Structures are given as structure tokens and as C-alpha cells.
Amino acid sequence: MAFQTWIAIFMIPLLILGMFGNLNLIYVTWKFKDLKNRNSYLVAAIAIFDFISEAYEWKKVIEIFLDKMIMRRVDCYHSIFIHCYTFNMSNVVMLFLGIDRFIALLLPVKYRTARTTPFIALAIGTGVIYSTAFATAGFIFSDDELIELCDQTMAYSPKIITIWNYTSVTIDLIVFVLNVIDYYLLRRAAKQRESRMFLIQMNV
């Protein structure tokens, strides 16, 4: 059995679980009032974009099973550019989710009084600009080179994929750093809470 076939088999349960999980995130955000906040809206937006991307991943699975993997780069990109677009949108919104959590921990009072809509609009707007730039470049620089597997990394031309890799890694690195900072802010807040509780008990 070809290596690509094993990949396709392995992808099937992951895609099913991923799509089911994302649908649940979207549903609970819409259903429950407690989740109608900035953080939950960003998570729901990521779930929507990821769900669309996962739906397009089924195309790759089917092409592997039907042995229809080899195609021209231009044909590949035209068939999955929406997948590329939503993947990039998800990446940018993930960055704003990290920023949102960082602000919530660093400036909790201001965070509670800040308006939700402008921040969500900024996150989506930035994602649209970023994703549209790569989508446009993808159409402009597509070529007739044959590629073995139609996915995002092969659909972009070599010049575009180099730039895309740098920007994606930069975004991921920023999100990682923000998460590390959030962890230490949470630990500091927990220690301060424990200290206050200890002082209260001592005074009692």
C-alpha cells in the first residue's frame, strides 16, 4: 500500500473528529449566553474556518484513493484556494485570540469594559487583508508545473510558499510566546490570590 494511502486512511478519523468538534464549538457558542463574549466569538470564528478547511481536506483524501493526485499547480490552486483562504484566516484569528487572552490577564479591569465588536472586526479585517493578499498572489503566480499532491504547501508557487512559511511561522511564534506569558501571568495571579487568602485567615 502506498504511503499516501496510509496518510489518507489516517486522516479520515482525524477529519471526522475535527469537524465534529468544530461544529460543537460553533453550536455551544450560539446556544449558551455565558459563551457570548469576545474570547468565545474568536474561538467560534476559528472553528468555522477550520471546519471549512477540513471539508476541503476530504478532497485530498478522495484524490489519494482514486489515484488522482498528480495535477498542474494552477488546477490545484483553483480547486482549493478557499481552503488556503480559510486556513490563513484561522491563523490570523488565532493570533488575535492570543492577544485577547494576554490583555485579559494583563489588564483585567480594562478588558471587562472594552467593547467586543471593534476587536472582533479588527481580527476579521486583518485576516481578510492577510488572506486576500496570499489568495491574489496565488492566482497571479500559479504555473503549469505538475505536483504530486494537491495541498496548500504545493498549491502555492515556490516564491509564495517561502513568504507564506515565514509569515505563518512568525504568527505561530508570537502565539506561542503570548501563551507562555499568559501561563506565568496566571501563576502569578494564583500566588497572589493564595497570599491574600493566607493573610485573611491569619487576621481571622
For the segment 77-135, what is each residue's pLDDT rounded down to a tens digit?
A: 999 999 999 999 999 999 999 999 999 988 888 888 888 899 999 999 999 999 999 99
70: DSSP letter:
-
3-state secondary structure string across 106-150 = HCHHHHHHCCHHHHHHHHHHHHHHHHHHHHHHHHHCCCCCEECCC
Contact (Cβ atoms closer than 8 angstroms) between residue 199 and residue 119: no
188's grid cell: 502569578
Which range marks the domain in which residue 182 is found? 3-203
* pLDDT value of residue 194: 64
Rounded Cα distance, 103 and 94, in Å: 14
Which of the residues in the chain have pLDDT under 70? Answer: 1, 192-204
* pLDDT value of residue 188: 82
Angle 159-49-132 from CA coordinates, rounded to 5°: 40
The structural domain count of the chain equals 1
**pTM for this entry:** 0.86
166's grid cell: 515565514
* pLDDT value of residue 203: 59
SS3 of residue 71 by DSSP: strand
- The CATH number of whichever domain residue 42 belongs to comes to 1.20.1070.10
